[in-house]
Structure 1
Amino acid sequence: MPAEGIPGLSVAGGWDVPPRLNMAAQALGGDPDRLAIIDLTGPARRDVTVAELAAMADALARRLLAEGVVTGDRVGVLLSQSPWCAAAHLAIWKIGAISVPLFKLFKHDALRSRVGDAGARLVLTDPEGAGLLGDLATPLMVEEAGIAGDPVPFADTGSEDPAVLIYTSGTTGSPKGALHAHRVLTGHLPGVFLSHDRLGQPGDCLWTPADWAWIGGLFDVLMPGLALGVPVVAARMEKFTPEGAAKIIAQASVRNVFFPPTALRMLKAADQGVPGLRSVASGGEPLGAEMLAWGRGAFGLEINEFYGQTECNMIATSCGADFPARPGCIGKPVPGHEIAVLDGAGQPTMEEGDVAVRRGSASMLLQYWNNPEETAKKVQGDWLITGDRGVWEGDYLRFVGREDDVITSAGYRIGPAEIEDCLMTHPDVATVGVVGKPDPLRTEIVKAYVVRKPGATATGTDLQAYVKERLASYSYPREIAFLDALPMTVTGKVIRKELKRRAAAEQEAEQ
């Protein structure tokens, strides 16, 4: 794809990243009177201009400075989609601190692992979030910050200075914190622009049901929309429904949507088309020919699939305005990002291999927070190893599967280790193995195979409730099976491949 006219790139096709860069200034640039956020979270629609959003961010920045926050400090943001959520991140970046997005569906243990690992003593939140935090950190109520006061100057940050710490699930140990620099927003602009058929056309308006605590909400929608001058819709859905989505799209005259694959499947199941959209983007797992064909009828356009992960996002995409989609493929490399498929020797190959991204991508993490060992595994030599398998079909990249054991369920990447660790704290559990079981709606569901202690009586419902109370509500095991023993290696590690085979066989038997 030619780089001409693509935001974030120079005319020559390289990254247009200045040495000194503050991401808040990048998001708040341009006409201060332009519409930034359409707020549908209250009883009536509220339109927030760039100037109003900047004033909200300044109010929070003054509060953080008064609390003694300095460059490099980590500050949590525990807020749902809202103008205050956007202002919180902007305030933190503006003063040179590091924001830590936190999800309202996290329970106490999940919040504790992230807040504790990040060393975030302060969290910008609301009364609901304060109740979730308990004594984990000091909550600062965003709507109590006040607005009046002089503008806070943007910190003189470099493009390589850390700005945001986003936690991602893995297969072993606790969730890892991907530390990103101020250049990360620039790194997302080309992919977001292309996945929405050249975002920024007259009348464009952007929305996603994905929470802004995730990289898919924060950097695939909210911040790129602000940086590109496209209004972003803030709306809350307790639970995604086709009817609710259609209502939000109509209320705000949305033209561009990022739908996670599960949302698309629910729309398809309800036979719910959405007229009037100019672009639909989706990422997380391949959609397949049937879903793409349905999208053409339901939306009257091509669904543009894109690919990336928290550590290096928006690196490949489809763009119906420029080239046709290819079922099973995740598009072509986004200009600025060099993708390769590597063989066992770490050399580029046209055969199936490991999908990797060359160092230099602006959306690539700096490192895993306080975890040099995992960083060294992830970034090897000139390449970031995604952990996914792929193969080239011409200049299209076909996704083959995941090398690791991360479970993809309803668009969420769920690490089995965190769920296993939680279940192991239950007094009735002797040992446990957690895997993804194939599911036609969610791609996979979380399934736990549990060995109970002698005489224990805990039921599957008991253990599900136990996990729900401690971790995110989307990551509890939807199915629990009790076994006499788990398949183990000679060193005592659960053989997840055996459990995966068992789960797949169960799913086939149920069909």
Structure 2
Amino acid sequence: MLKKLNNFEELSLTFKWNIPEFYNIASDTVDQDNYQNRIALINFLQDGKIEEWSFIDIKRSANKLANVFDHFHLEANARVGIILGQCPETAVAHMACFKSGKISIPLFNLFGTEALHYRLLNSRASLVICDNIGLNKIFEIKDRLPDLKKIICIDSNDEKSNVFNFKKLLEQASDSYITKKTKSSDPALIIYTSGTTGGPKGALLPHRTLLGHIPGVEIPHEFLSSSEPVTDLFWTPADWAWIGGLFDVLLPAWHFGIPVVSYRSQKFDPEVTFDLISKLEIKNTFLPPTALKMMKSFNPNKTIKNLKLRTVGSGGEALGEDLLEWGKQILGVGINEFYGQTECNLTVSNCGAIMPTKQGSIGKPVPGHEVRIINENGELIKEPGLDGEIIVKSDTPVSFLKYWENDKATKQKVKDGWLYTGDFAYKDEEGYFYFKGREDDIINTSGYRVGPSEVEDAVISHPKVSMVAVIGIPDKLRGQVIKAFVVPMDHKNVLNQNEILKKSIQNHVKLKLAAHEYPRIIEFVYELPLTTTGKIIRKDLRENN
């Protein structure tokens, strides 16, 4: 927990990590004695009804499932695939894994069969917990998963060979369980990267990674408290299969004894999002950039009644001036942008409560993290305005242990005590970081290096643009020219490739950016290729051009 100081620099200078030798995520959350009677989870159902789960409810269910694991004779560090969305069973499954010394593998419930097969085969998972939809997918691939022994389904009563019903198993199990004494460095989860720059890799995260996340969650959410009365309430549309859902929201909130809202949805719906935030009086939320853009497109300027938001954090893609201003006007709060990745999350952030926010900046290094920018020769860049690769000191407790069974990739990622992110940024004279993009995404045009986000920010501020992605394409004269793939508000413009609108967008960007930064080529499209976490897959756009 951070000291509540009014000065960011003082906070950074006085912060010290205190990571115990023995630590377990479950012991630090659902097992906490003083949290037992608090509400842990508010499950918002499709029919509008609400279920409330206290911490003791989650604990008892997790104890039962941990006993089931032991009954199944799962070995120490056995991998358990969890193919579920936001629901109580997901949280219970993770806690049961932490309690019993297993390694949980959060898996997106909309993954296709091949995506599931790759991850379950690579991790050698011996157990899967899923719903009926996931069960049908597993049946298609289980003959190709030699290590998979048992399946637990949360909503199927049709028990077959080695397929068990979640509820029935828990009814037969004891709700008493002694959580295993784990070291803080013991493995807890494998989270597979989204694969924007190659195949997905399994980042093996230790129990201490939750403690490592706490400063990075407190900074964008402007300090949190475990004291009563509890006034905060967290929710995110980000699925709990990803680091942003689990470690930016669910687990840190429970570290403080703060309740979290869960809602299972098949796709993001901005209207439902506004309704949920208003109806349940959400106080704190992590809204990925794509979600914010869709919300703005749905509601550009109408005031929403009964919003009680205290903090909004966002990260994953850069936000533009237009979107940040919209957030202040419509959501009623400033949006604190932050930066991180699965292997080393929440290392740079803004905090509007104690530091001035700067347009386009992802903030400053979070207390406890040493973050640098280096050039292509590995030399530290001290001069403001020069971009280079972001590297993070790898001894931080938030850092991953390694890539699962991939030593080569691990050695490429971590060198001489520094984690190489593959992301590029620059700093200003006050130490604020400005995200440029991944090296493959940076456009070299007429001798200038242009980050896609700054062009996309300018394009999306045009009133007739819904979404945009830009790439560089080869050009004999300029090296590369900027091409923008634009999802227009009116899809009719995709059919006729409206040249007047293209010219209007180009002129709009010229007024905002330097002459070399406007998109010389614009193509209207119905949709953009996105990862399941909402990040633009620019490599797909490059390969198709």
Place the TM-score, normalised by the shorter chain, in its bin: 0.7 to 0.9
Q: In the alignment, what sits opposite 1:264?
A: 292
Aligned partners of 2:281, 2:487: CA distance in 1, in Å? 28
Deviations 1:15-36 (A, max 9, x none): 2210001111112123210110
What SS is found at the alignment partner of 1:77? strand
**Aligned with residue 343 of structure 1, among 375, 389, 403:** 375
Q: In the alignment, what sits opposite 2:51?
A: 46
Higher radius of gyration, 1 or 2: 2
Tell me by how many angstroms 1:267 deviates: 1.3
Equivalent pair of 1:38/1:252 in contact (CA under 8 Å) = no
Deviations 1:94-137 (A, max 9, x none): 11110011111101100000000000021122222212212244
What is the count of residue pairs matched by the alignment? 431
Tell me by how many angstroms 1:236 deviates: 1.8
Percent of pairs with identical residues = 40
More displaced stretch, 70-79 vs 215-224: 70-79
Tell me by how many angstroms 1:87 deviates: 0.8
> Alpha carbon RMSD of aligned pairs, Å?
3.2
Q: In the alignment, what sits opposite 1:482?
A: none
Equivalent pair of 2:205/2:399 in contact (CA under 8 Å) = yes
Q: In the alignment, what sits opposite 1:124?
A: 129
Tell me by how many angstroms 1:10 deviates: 11
Tell me by how many angstroms 1:344 deviates: 2.5
Tell me by how many angstroms 1:273 deviates: 4.9
The 1:110–1:240 alpha-carbon spacing in structure 2 relative to 1, beyond 3 Å, is same
* 1:197 maps to 2:222: yes
What SS is found at the alignment partner of 2:116? helix
What SS is found at the alignment partner of 2:94? helix
Aligned partners of 2:322, 2:177: CA distance in 1, in Å? 51
The 1:150–1:244 alpha-carbon spacing in structure 2 relative to 1, beyond 3 Å, is closer
Amino acid at match of 2:167: E
What SS is found at the alignment partner of 1:75? strand
Alignment TM-score, normalising by the size of structure 1:
0.78
Q: In the alignment, what sits opposite 1:332?
A: 364
Tell me by how many angstroms 1:438 deviates: 4.9
Tell me by how many angstroms 1:144 deviates: 3.0
Tell me by how many angstroms 1:472 deviates: 8.1
Tell me by how many angstroms 1:139 deviates: 1.4
Tell me by how many angstroms 1:154 deviates: 1.1
Amino acid at match of 1:327: Q
Aligned partners of 1:33, 1:146: CA distance in 2, in Å? 21
Equivalent pair of 2:236/2:249 in contact (CA under 8 Å) = yes
Aligned partners of 2:544, 2:67: CA distance in 1, in Å? 56
Unaligned runs of 5+ in 2: 6-10, 154-165, 443-451, 457-481, 489-528
The 1:365–1:318 alpha-carbon spacing in structure 2 relative to 1, beyond 3 Å, is same
Equivalent pair of 2:236/2:285 in contact (CA under 8 Å) = yes
Equivalent pair of 1:81/1:236 in contact (CA under 8 Å) = yes
More displaced stretch, 213-222 vs 242-251: 242-251
Tell me by how many angstroms 1:474 deviates: 8.4
The 1:478–1:32 alpha-carbon spacing in structure 2 relative to 1, beyond 3 Å, is closer
Aligned partners of 2:273, 2:341: CA distance in 1, in Å? 25
Q: In the alignment, what sits opposite 1:508?
A: none
Aligned partners of 1:171, 1:35: CA distance in 2, in Å? 37
Tell me by how many angstroms 1:404 deviates: 4.2
For 1:288-437, list aligned pairs within 5 A.
Answer: 288-350=320-382, 351-393=386-428, 394-404=430-440
Q: In the alignment, what sits opposite 1:34?
A: 38
More displaced stretch, 118-127 vs 399-408: 399-408
Aligned partners of 2:534, 2:363: CA distance in 1, in Å? 29
Deviations 1:348-403 (A, max 9, x none): 21232110100211111100000000000000112100000111112211111111
Aligned partners of 1:475, 1:313: CA distance in 2, in Å? 17
Unaligned runs of 5+ in 1: 410-435, 443-467, 480-495, 504-511
Equivalent pair of 1:343/1:353 in contact (CA under 8 Å) = yes
For 1:143-292, list aligned pairs within 5 A.
Answer: 143-147=167-171, 149-170=174-195, 174-200=199-225, 202-271=230-299, 273-274=303-304, 275-292=307-324
Tell me by how many angstroms 1:79 deviates: 1.0
Aligned partners of 1:194, 1:441: CA distance in 2, in Å? 34
Equivalent pair of 2:339/2:347 in contact (CA under 8 Å) = yes
More displaced stretch, 341-350 vs 398-407: 398-407
* 1:140 maps to 2:140: no
**Aligned with residue 107 of structure 1, among 101, 106, 112:** 112
Equivalent pair of 1:171/1:404 in contact (CA under 8 Å) = no
Aligned partners of 1:338, 1:353: CA distance in 2, in Å? 16
Deviations 1:257-281 (A, max 9, x none): 1111111111111225552211111
Equivalent pair of 1:21/1:183 in contact (CA under 8 Å) = yes
More displaced stretch, 255-264 vs 191-200: 191-200
Amino acid at match of 2:152: L
Tell me by how many angstroms 1:151 deviates: 1.6
Amino acid at match of 1:401: G
Tell me by how many angstroms 1:255 deviates: 1.0
Amino acid at match of 2:239: D
Aligned partners of 1:32, 1:278: CA distance in 2, in Å? 25
What SS is found at the alignment partner of 1:14? coil
Aligned partners of 1:241, 1:309: CA distance in 2, in Å? 25
* 1:63 maps to 2:68: yes
Aligned partners of 2:411, 2:174: CA distance in 1, in Å? 45
Q: In the alignment, what sits opposite 1:490?
A: none
The 1:273–1:181 alpha-carbon spacing in structure 2 relative to 1, beyond 3 Å, is farther
Equivalent pair of 1:240/1:263 in contact (CA under 8 Å) = yes
The 1:92–1:281 alpha-carbon spacing in structure 2 relative to 1, beyond 3 Å, is same
Amino acid at match of 2:129: L
What SS is found at the alignment partner of 1:145? helix
Aligned partners of 2:12, 2:324: CA distance in 1, in Å? 33
The 1:245–1:42 alpha-carbon spacing in structure 2 relative to 1, beyond 3 Å, is closer
Aligned partners of 1:476, 1:26: CA distance in 2, in Å? 32
Aligned partners of 1:156, 1:239: CA distance in 2, in Å? 39
More displaced stretch, 289-298 vs 249-258: 249-258
Aligned partners of 2:404, 2:532: CA distance in 1, in Å? 25
Amino acid at match of 1:237: S
Aligned partners of 2:363, 2:129: CA distance in 1, in Å? 37
Q: In the alignment, what sits opposite 2:491?
A: none
Deviations 1:176-197 (A, max 9, x none): 0000000111111111111112
What SS is found at the alignment partner of 1:398? strand
Tell me by how many angstroms 1:347 deviates: 2.9
Q: In the alignment, what sits opposite 1:445?
A: none
